[in-house]
């Protein structure tokens, strides 16, 4: 990614700060944080659904379950996201 997180960004050699460029960095950081949150929660949920008595390693069925669980978690995420968005719009329409 151009500019990186630690470098001088959003300004071109002594020029003014560019809100657009700053926001690009902000959005990236937010996206990274969100992905971390998603993975942590997904891992939690899928561990609970897929791993019964923890054995010496993840067997085939457990690994398959984890893969499917991840896909279903993201499907569920989208469903919930849509439902929430619809509800917000309905509430706004009623105001």
Partner 1 sequence: MRTHARKKAGSSRWTMAELGEADEAELQRLVAAEQQKAQFTAQVHHFMELCWDKCVEKPGNRLDSRTENCLSSCVDRFIDTTLAITSRFAQIVQKGGQ
Which parts of this chain interact with partner 1 (CB under 8 A)?
Answer: 5-6, 8-11, 14-19, 22-23, 26-27, 30, 34, 37-38, 41, 45-46, 49-50, 65, 68-69, 71-73, 75-77, 79-85, 87
Q: Which of 31, 62, 66 is nearest to 46 (CA)?
A: 66
Distance CA 42, CA 53 (A): 19
Q: Is 6 or 55 the residue whose CB approaches partner 1 more closely?
A: 6
Q: Is 4 or 56 the residue whose CB approaches partner 1 more closely?
A: 4
């Amino acid at each position: 990614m151009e500019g990186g997180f630690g470098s001088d960004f959003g300004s071109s050699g002594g020029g003014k700060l560019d809100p657009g460029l700053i926001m690009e960095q902000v959005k990236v950081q937010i996206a990274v944080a969100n992905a971390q949150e998603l993975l942590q929660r997904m891992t939690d949920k899928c561990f609970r659904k897929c791993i019964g008595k923890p054995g010496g390693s993840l067997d085939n069925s457990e690994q398959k379950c984890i893969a499917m669980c991840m896909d279903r978690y993201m499907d569920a995420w989208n469903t919930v996201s849509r439902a929430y968005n619809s509800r917000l719009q309905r509430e706004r329409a009623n105001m």
